[in-house]
Amino acid sequence: MAPIRRLVLDVLKPHAPETVEFARDVASAPGVSGVNALLLETDREVQNIRIVVEGDDIDVEDVEQRVTNLGGTVHSIDEVVAGEEMVDSRDVPQDWLPP
């Protein structure tokens, strides 16, 4: 099976634990070499964060379980890169809008 190289998760989490703890915990998952956690929105009770996970063979189930164990919910998986190489998104003609 092709290894997962990048995951982009949309996560809803309580204010505690802090985003730093989320990033550190996810970064310690098997196959993960780095994590970027970005606060997108905050309100009185919850925060919405985007977590970008990169590695050689990410254990997706373990990452999702870590988010859940910290009180978060994965709203969606917004990007997945799988295979032997990292592939970045590219604009395609249907994405282009005239000025």
CATH of the domain at 53: 3.30.70.1340
CA atoms within 13 A of residue 17's CA, in its CB half-sphere = 15
Quickly state the pLDDT bin for 93 (edges 50, 70, 90): low
Residue in 55, 65, 7 with CA at minimum distance from that of residue 32: 55
Is 31 inside a domain boundary? yes
**In this prediction, what percent of the chain has a pLDDT beyond 90?**
83
Over range 10-38, report the average pLDDT: 96
Quickly state the pLDDT bin for 92 (edges 50, 70, 90): low
Query: Rounded to an integer, what distance in angstroms lies between the CA atom of residue 2 and that of residue 83?
Result: 5
SS3 for 72-99 is CEEEEEEEEEECCCCCCCCCCHHHCCCC
Is 94 inside a domain boundary? no
Prediction pTM value: 0.86
What mean pLDDT, rounded, does the chain reach? Answer: 92
Is 76 inside a domain boundary? yes
Quickly state the pLDDT bin for 84 (edges 50, 70, 90): confident
Is 20 inside a domain boundary? yes
Contact by Cβ (8 Å): 28, 58: no
* pLDDT of residue 95 exceeding 90: no
Is 95 inside a domain boundary? no
Contact by Cβ (8 Å): 5, 81: yes
Over range 14-41, report the average pLDDT: 96
Boundaries of domain holding 49:
4-84
Strands 4-14 and 32-42, by their bridges, are unpaired
Is 49 inside a domain boundary? yes
Is 9 inside a domain boundary? yes
In the chain, the number of structural domains is 1
Apex 48 CA angle, 44 and 50, nearest 5: 160
Is 92 inside a domain boundary? no
